[in-house]
Structure 1
Amino acid sequence: MSKFYQLKVIAIKKETEDSVSISFDVPYEFHEIFSYKPGQYLTLKFTLHGEELRRSYSLCSSPVVEGPLRIGVKRVKDGVVSNHINNNIKIGDLIDVMPPDGRFFADIKRDNYKTYYLFAAGSGITPILSILRTVLLTEERSYVYMIYGNRTENSILFKKELDELQKKYGDRFILEYTLSRPNRNWSDLWKSSKEQSFRKGRIDTEAVKWFINEFPLYAQNAEYYICGPGTMIENTKKTLQNMDVPDNRIFIESFGSTKTEDTLEGIDNAKLTAHLNNERIEVLIPNGKTILRTLIDAGVAPPYSCEGGVCSTCLCKLIKGKVHMKNNLALNDDEIKQGYILSCQSIPLSDIIDIVYS
């Protein structure tokens, strides 16, 4: 379930001071395996300082453009993998990569007639760029409104590409940048998007209301895609809901810190029965340890990636028992009601836990 393939790095581009984009060659025999939908991610595996580490990075390339797979990687303070990629990866390196995955994607079809609202902050632009490019290239009748938040102009990822897209598709693509710490010489921060200026501030409740009111629906069939840190996502989602946007029209992907102050340890030595790859595994869960880490320590190979409650790679279904998820940025309320859990975040609250990996 967690099979990796070695892909060769064929291009590295420094996008900003603290980020790079990495392009991979996909051999012909792997083309079908590595097909993807705009918005999905790749999971990379490294062994650093004797420890296996996996990280998920969204694809910023488009599946409708013939070319290599490309991801964007921004440095994270004290981030072992992000700093390793930015400092050490070279053209020609072979990297272990899992096939594309993820539930944050747009269903883009040539006959669609839609309005897309795209909200991105920081490195959250990577899957949004994939969705944006694919919509513009595929859906000639659809319209796209996008607001992208950063600290300064110099920290804007893929700015040149975004500006080129706006110039080429300006009749149906509106782009607004918003900066929390704009350069001092930017005196006019409230010009229209056609003049390519910058709004001052973050993507907060006020910004979302302004954006939606400034750029009303083109087609009534509208979808809203949000990607960025947790606070930005919550503010945007809540504001859209208060503006009567249905939940099934809002799609989110979290980027940024996944740390939690949750200190609950759960039941000690709960009996875990896991059904994985047509096998039945039985093991005891030590106090404070997650279901995922318990299985890994027992020599089992369950699917997983970020271990931050973001990507949903470790998704499984709880058949019996009760668990507590320390962090959840991947599952909605309906999925939780159906019994789905993130094994990387789940600790037992009952003596018996029975799960099934699909």
Structure 2
Amino acid sequence: MFHPLRVAEIERLTDDAVAVTFQVPPALHKTFRHVPGQHIALRRTVDGREIRRTYSICAPASDEPTLRVGIRLVEDGEFSTYALKELAVGDTVDVMAPAGRFVLEPRPGHFVGIVGGSGITPVLSIVTTLLTRRPDARFCLIRSDRTAASTMFLEEVADLKDRFPDRFQLVTVLSREDQQSGLPSGRLDEARLRELLPALLPVDSVDGWYLCGPFGLVQAAERALRGLQVPRNRIHEEIFHISEPAPAESALAGADTALAGAASTAATGTLSAAAGGSTTLLGGPPALRTPVHSTVTATLDGRAGSWPVVDGESLLESVLRNRADAPYACKGGVCGTCRAFLVSGEIRMDRNYALEDEEVASGYVLACQSHPVTEEVELDFDR
């Protein structure tokens, strides 16, 4: 459900990025309380066409929530261009309640963030909330940016160094600019991370790794950590901006920054509902198994309905033709807003950057990336 919120402040962070703060009325404080690391979906309508984009909350968690997001301009991005060039204080934007599973509830321990570009946004909320609430927690932030001028939230990160000098460690790498001190410039690829991380940290004793940024960086960091024998359940991922097309689909036109909570692998394939609600990956070419005529039954907000699936469309698109309130934001397999439980039938999921392996194994799918393989498919958005 969307709520119209007034823009209270717009702050220029870099030449191509802003921070937008929304005014949350007291009656909606409970609705917009967030866990550090969550995101919100924003909506606007242009010429009768609805545009939704998802952005991470950068403010620390609070009972009286400050709803502040970072938005970076994306080439041909419909919402980001509007946010940087047209949006003004006093304007009203439709905002969905916080969601996402790329989160860290404050607890004792040693945590590390590896971020690239605007991937700093959710991690800023995570580290600020953690260090403020837990004197028995430490955080190391390894951030990669193109240049110093393109780096978002410089002042906020500098403030963390001043406030928590013994518990906050900052490592900065610039890929296109030399630094007077610190690490040499260049990209943080898998080989460099496998060499760098053991030199910086006791890798074995880190309680949680939070990877956020472009697909290439996040995948390189995950491979490096797995090569260093870090258990998979300690690695949490969020992808910002997928540039390459999914299997059997074209690239998303005009895609803005897209987020995901705690993404695991870009798993694709054919899934079937089995006993107990578990989901099984099946073999065989998925496209050859898609039936000509299929029906999707979906439960949403306690109401169920059944509708035909038009050849080639996703299950989310089928549901949206009949239920405009079906949840979604990015439609790219990254934000996880359209997560649903596969009650029965088989589906082909083109790509997945939003669900953990355990969620897929338990029966959850991304409706925006799911296509029917059997003639009958049933989804439950309420579970």
Task: Tell me whether the two structures share a fold, i.e. TM-score over 0.5.
Answer: yes
Q: Which moved more, 1:153-162 or 1:15-24?
A: 153-162
1:4-52 deviation per Cα after TM superposition (whole angstroms, max 9, x unaligned): 1111111100101111000011111111111111000011111023211
Cα distance in structure 1, aligned partners of 2:200 and 2:145: 21
Q: Which runs of 5+ in 2 are unaligned?
A: 250-286
Residue matched to 1:283: 307
Pick one of 139, 144, 162 that aligns with 1:144: 139
Cα distance in structure 1, aligned partners of 2:85 and 2:292: 41
Cα distance in structure 1, aligned partners of 2:342 and 2:127: 36
Q: Which moved more, 1:69-78 or 1:343-352?
A: 343-352
Contact map agreement 2:204 2:230 (CA 8 A) in 1: no
Identical aligned residues as a percent: 32
Pick one of 97, 109, 123 that aligns with 1:128: 123
Residue matched to 1:231: 216
Q: TM-score, normalised by structure 1?
A: 0.91
Contact map agreement 2:33 2:65 (CA 8 A) in 1: no
| AA matched with 1:4 | F
Residue 67 of structure 1: CA displacement?
6.2
Superposed, 1:190-209 pairs within 5 Å as 191=181, 197-209=182-194
Aligned residue for 2:205, secondary structure, equals coil
**Considering only aligned residues, what root-mean-square deviation do their CA atoms show, in Å?**
1.9
**Using a 3 Å threshold, how does the CA distance of structure 1 residues 198 and 242 change in structure 2: closer, same or farther?**
closer
Cα distance in structure 1, aligned partners of 2:111 and 2:74: 30
Contact map agreement 1:136 1:169 (CA 8 A) in 2: yes
Residue matched to 2:298: 274
Aligned residue-pair number: 343
Cα distance in structure 2, aligned partners of 1:89 and 1:36: 24
1:313-354 deviation per Cα after TM superposition (whole angstroms, max 9, x unaligned): 111111221111122101122221222100011111221111
Pick one of 85, 92, 95 that aligns with 2:93: 95
Residue matched to 1:47: 45
Residue matched to 1:170: 165
Contact map agreement 1:258 1:327 (CA 8 A) in 2: no
**Using a 3 Å threshold, how does the CA distance of structure 1 residues 354 and 219 change in structure 2: closer, same or farther?**
closer
Pick one of 286, 291, 308 that aligns with 2:332: 308
Q: TM-score, normalised by structure 2?
A: 0.85
Contact map agreement 1:8 1:92 (CA 8 A) in 2: yes
| AA matched with 1:210 | E
Pick one of 79, 82, 106 that aligns with 1:81: 79
Residue 221 of structure 1: CA displacement?
5.5
**Using a 3 Å threshold, how does the CA distance of structure 1 residues 218 and 262 change in structure 2: closer, same or farther?**
closer
Contact map agreement 1:115 1:219 (CA 8 A) in 2: no
Residue matched to 2:248: 263
Aligned residue for 1:95, secondary structure, equals strand
